[in-house]
Structure 1
């Protein structure tokens, strides 16, 4: 016969077992560390880099965390960099006002959608969060669905703006201000409003609340080039040729608009359902005119041009170096310069001659040598013809550039996609994360982000004439 003591002990064991079964482990190690709660495209394939967040301090303190033998994007000191005050954006499609956002207590700087001041205001409540597709130092990137909304057309009639799948990049204002990255975040939004190209991800909306900035971009469901490259190991020259040509086309367009990307790498290149590549993440991009140079130390070390590392000042030629590194990695499976210690990696990039594999064609060798010239004035693409000099290289002789830029050249490889909202080509370490857009403190100095709102000029946003 069981005693009351043993019965009590059994009951306690049962309760303990139930609690252990329901035990959950938090996804972050410290709830007091706001920098790791939210997200930026730069670190989609790994945890936030351990680089010092202060841009005025040394960036080579210890070894970085390496994911797949590469470091993360970062911004270093710039002698010319100063934190700007409020500089309103000017764009034909800006429309500022404030109103109550559906799901948050704070007010949102909304975007007016519609013609002649008629329509409705858009904000975070217009988007249903579906999955996390990335996480970084400033916040998160979510796959979201645009909710159906009834609107008033320009002619006074009623209509509906339908739903759609997008990527929503959410950035914390307090982290941006703390790290002196206000100018970079403003530049990203401003540049994206000016770029329309078949191989560049399109910005559809931007808006803000008191604590966060939001960018709504096209969701590209094929995943990152990084994902496919490390799944396949290497690309054939024919496969890499189409990708490189599309990247060259996109970068040439940016340069014609006076924009330098400065963070070209496979993690920042997406692949759409048809197998075309799409350039994304303009967080380090900058507008630089032909006669100017930037002295910022920024980018991802494996892809940084020697002139950036030497602080000699850089311009658009630095992007062509990165394209060369990209091509090398596509053809060989890894960048030409790698090291687990960032300072030693820097020294290799500056001093070592690139080693070309004999199995590559002579035309590929010639292109890589041209793009990976350490002297930027001798680099392919540095001349007055710019990107056209690269397009006319013999490695691209089979490319019809007119057809390519009309998206008529079909890549042989297409990602395996089950539908418009498919995320199978994104790393499961992100897509399995909880769907929470966590709260953030209201920062001081919120005036830095005045004028952030934007609506892309889409035909379906206005009624027919």
Structure 2
């Protein structure tokens, strides 16, 4: 273990180095990974077992140039471990809070590979972004609806807060909230009181900053429609409808997906193991994989262990 690079409700994320590397067979010699450690007792107590299983399952299934690759997963009596590629560019919000606002290229990347999900984003060394956190992701088909209510309230769609049942249209609302925040510096609906915040999201009309372009206004209005059936992105061809919006007219989507377009913003990194783009409140933490009690309930995480078909193959 080298450094702490993240901390959440269920545990920590460490930058780690694999002790034994076989570089003679073309394997990566640096052996750097991110190790996500989660406490079983906390997961069970918060009734998040299904989400933790889903995160592991999704990461084993999805292979995409903009999604972090899971290399290994395993467990002890008290904890779950996910070993993923270490991405040294830092968290999206770390840069957003420092930059204040972002511009078009970042938004186009989020739309391209969001897969209808609002997720944690990090930069890779060639200044692209990677989805890394599937902790609250859920697999549903086109006809399915969900009634779960997890995540950050500021990003929740009205139909989630109203417990009407929702599908991926709710994710396009969340993408709209994120784009609004990237372009203006703060989300459109805020309040210290959670109940009043929910009321604002359900009832208040979104106020668009006057300094944004008419194209940006049009895109945000489309994504932030209260009625999911009227929302830009709804329906089977929703992603294509968003990509063809006039705000993205300068984007060559094929080149973007091939990672041939570079964003204007470049995180400052000094090497593969650089952690300068992670908050010091994490990187200065003691390197403790602290002990945790073993749950007394039955086996919740059978079949959790995983080794990627070629765990040394770099996705970058």
TM superposition score normalised by structure 2: 0.94
2:239 corresponds, among 367, 381, 387, to 387
- 2:205 matched to 1:338? no
- 2:7 matched to 1:135? yes
- 2:248 matched to 1:396? yes
- 2:88 matched to 1:246? no
Q: Report the Cα offset of residue 294 of structure 1.
A: 0.6
Structure 1: gaps of 5 or more residues:
1-128, 152-157, 256-260
- 2:137 matched to 1:270? no
For each residue in 1:315-334, what CA deviation from the matched residue of structure 2 results, as whole angstroms up to 9, or x when unmatched?
Answer: 11111001101111111100
Q: Which residue of 1 aligns with 2:204?
A: 352
Q: Name the CA shift for 1:446/1:406 in 2 (closer, same or farther; >3 Å).
A: farther
Q: Which residue of 1 aligns with 2:34?
A: 167
Q: Name the CA shift for 1:444/1:406 in 2 (closer, same or farther; >3 Å).
A: same
* Correspondences of 1:380-459 after superposition (within 5 Å): 380-445=232-297, 447-458=299-310
Q: Which residue of 2 aligns with 1:177?
A: 44
Any idea what SS the aligned residue of 2:260 has?
coil
Q: Report the Cα offset of residue 435 of structure 1.
A: 0.4
Q: Report the Cα offset of residue 130 of structure 1.
A: 0.2
8 Å contact 2:21–2:31 — kept in the other structure? Answer: no
8 Å contact 1:204–1:217 — kept in the other structure? Answer: yes
8 Å contact 1:328–1:335 — kept in the other structure? Answer: yes
- 2:83 matched to 1:216? yes
For each residue in 1:64-101, what CA deviation from the matched residue of structure 2 results, as whole angstroms up to 9, or x when unmatched?
Answer: xxxxxxxxxxxxxxxxxxxxxxxxxxxxxxxxxxxxxx
After superposing the two structures, state which structure 1 stretch, 389-398 or 177-186, moved more: 177-186
8 Å contact 1:321–1:372 — kept in the other structure? Answer: yes
Any idea what SS the aligned residue of 1:144 has?
strand
Matches of 1:234 and 1:224, distance apart in 2: 14
Q: Report the Cα offset of residue 459 of structure 1.
A: 7.5
Higher relative contact order (CA 8 A, sep 6+): 2
Structure 2: gaps of 5 or more residues:
none
Q: Which residue of 1 aligns with 2:220?
A: 368
Matches of 1:160 and 1:275, distance apart in 2: 25
Q: Report the Cα offset of residue 150 of structure 1.
A: 5.7
TM superposition score normalised by structure 1: 0.65
Any idea what SS the aligned residue of 2:236 has?
coil
Matches of 1:446 and 1:272, distance apart in 2: 40
Matches of 2:9 and 2:185, distance apart in 1: 27
Q: Report the Cα offset of residue 426 of structure 1.
A: 0.5
- Name which one, 1 or 2, has greater alpha-carbon Rg: 1
For each residue in 1:342-401, what CA deviation from the matched residue of structure 2 results, as whole angstroms up to 9, or x when unmatched?
Answer: 111000000000001121111111000000011011111102312011001011110000
Matches of 2:21 and 2:258, distance apart in 1: 33
Q: Which residue of 2 aligns with 1:67?
A: none
Any idea what SS the aligned residue of 1:143 has?
strand
* Correspondences of 1:288-327 after superposition (within 5 Å): 288-327=140-179
For each residue in 1:189-232, what CA deviation from the matched residue of structure 2 results, as whole angstroms up to 9, or x when unmatched?
Answer: 00111111222222111111111100011111110110111101
Q: Report the Cα offset of residue 273 of structure 1.
A: 2.1
* Correspondences of 1:33-44 after superposition (within 5 Å): none
2:69 corresponds, among 192, 202, 217, to 202
Any idea what SS the aligned residue of 2:287 has?
coil
Q: Which residue of 2 aligns with 1:109?
A: none
Q: Name the CA shift for 1:159/1:198 in 2 (closer, same or farther; >3 Å).
A: closer
Any idea what SS the aligned residue of 1:448 has?
coil
For each residue in 1:144-195, what CA deviation from the matched residue of structure 2 results, as whole angstroms up to 9, or x when unmatched?
Answer: 11122469xxxxxx96854421110001111111222111100110011111
- 2:17 matched to 1:145? yes
8 Å contact 2:142–2:236 — kept in the other structure? Answer: no
For each residue in 1:392-441, what CA deviation from the matched residue of structure 2 results, as whole angstroms up to 9, or x when unmatched?
Answer: 10111100000000000011111000000100010000100000111112
Matches of 1:160 and 1:411, distance apart in 2: 31
For each residue in 1:3-46, what CA deviation from the matched residue of structure 2 results, as whole angstroms up to 9, or x when unmatched?
Answer: xxxxxxxxxxxxxxxxxxxxxxxxxxxxxxxxxxxxxxxxxxxx
8 Å contact 1:247–1:279 — kept in the other structure? Answer: no
